[in-house]
Amino acid sequence: MAARQVTVKDIARKLRLHYTTVSKALRDHPDISPATKRRVLSLARELDYHPNSIAKSLKNQASSTLGVIVPSIKNDFFSAVISGVEEIAYGREFNTVVCQSNESSEREAIHLRTLISNRVGGVLVSVAQTTTSGAGFQALRRQGIPLVFFDRVCEDVEAGRVVVDDYGGAMRLVEHLIQRGYRNIAHVAGPENTSIGRDRCRGYLDALKKHGLNGTGASIIRGGFEEEDGVAALRRIHARGRMPDAIFAVNDPVARGVHAEIRQIGLEIPRDVAVAGFGDNRLSSYLDPPLTTVSQSPYEIGKIAAAMLLRRIDHPSHEPVCETEVIQTHLIVRRST
């Protein structure tokens, strides 16, 4: 049989103190003398005491835990965002529980229900690519649990948002390609139902239009956000019999798939076709040739999103319902273009 977890009352009984005194000592309350705090903390360490966060949540109707739902932990972008979130959460003595949707709206919904049932203090979400409605997120609002979207958002849900300037970043990147002399520029786009898929595609099209290339230079191949989507897109382009001058991929994993498949069929980057991505993932600078891309500061996104969520937890009635913070991007030019 497993050993029973040590409680505040156990510590109080051994020290012959009232349990409220022990509770205050563990929380470093100013009413308790330094000597008593030392006695309590010493015995707590000796007995391997851990606070019962579930009991605390039942009492306070909220816990000191933040739920984070990301599409893919293996993606460098989301790993860096999580690091930023945990940096801010740690400073406020909040724990984080990270869930991975694997780009599945069904799995995303399961994680949401689990987080709600565990009475998390708030939730941070980057939406799965198969999520087409925000209906599943309305349960958070009904339960009074603050919600902040980051990177990918649900337009039909009132919540805080920390987003990248996807439109501006895409437009600057495509203008860079045009300035380098490329005219027939294809876009391997993300799903149209995702905010980043729409905004990056819109930036691509408006850059072509601005330079008079929208009539002849636009070519859009839609897919997902993974490396295999880039491989599949390049095969479709190659099957047409004529390669574009340059390819702009919706993100770096897709660009890596495009990059690998171009080399696989025996073409040279950028002599035969230039390649660019979006996100500046860790591996992008190690490709041969290194990938031109757009930096979007994921660690800062995580910190800003966590700070926004904690403000909403602290002052739920003071924060604007649809507060939005836009993170600016930076073009990083490498040899792939």
Span 165-185, pLDDT tens digits: 999 999 999 999 999 999 999
Cite the DSSP H helix spans in the chain: 8-15, 19-26, 34-46, 53-60, 76-91, 105-117, 138-142, 166-179, 195-210, 227-239, 252-264, 298-314
Q: Report pLDDT digits (tens) over 36-68.
A: 999 999 998 888 787 765 555 545 545 789 999
* Domain residue extents for the chain: 8-51, 61-165+298-329, 166-295
Q: Report pLDDT digits (tens) over 239-254.
A: 988 899 999 999 999 9
Asked if the domains 8-51 and 61-165+298-329 are classified in one and the same CATH topology, the answer is no
CATH superfamily ID and name for 61-165+298-329: Response regulator (3.40.50.2300)
Q: What is the pTM of this model?
A: 0.78
CATH number at 8-51: 1.10.260.40
Contacts 24+ apart (CB under 8 A), 278-281: 278/166, 278/169, 278/170, 278/173, 278/200, 278/248, 278/249, 278/250, 278/251, 278/252, 279/76, 279/77, 279/251, 279/252, 279/253, 280/252, 280/332, 281/75, 281/76, 281/77, 281/251, 281/252, 281/253, 281/256
- Give CA–CA dist 206/186, Å, rounded: 13
Mean pLDDT within 306-334: 89
- Give CA–CA dist 274/279, Å, rounded: 17
pLDDT band at 1 (very low <50, low <70, confident <90, very high): very low
Q: Is the CATH number 3.30.1520.10 carried by domain 166-295? A: no
- What pLDDT, on the 0 to 100 scale, is given for residue 19? 84
Position 322 pLDDT exceeds 60: yes
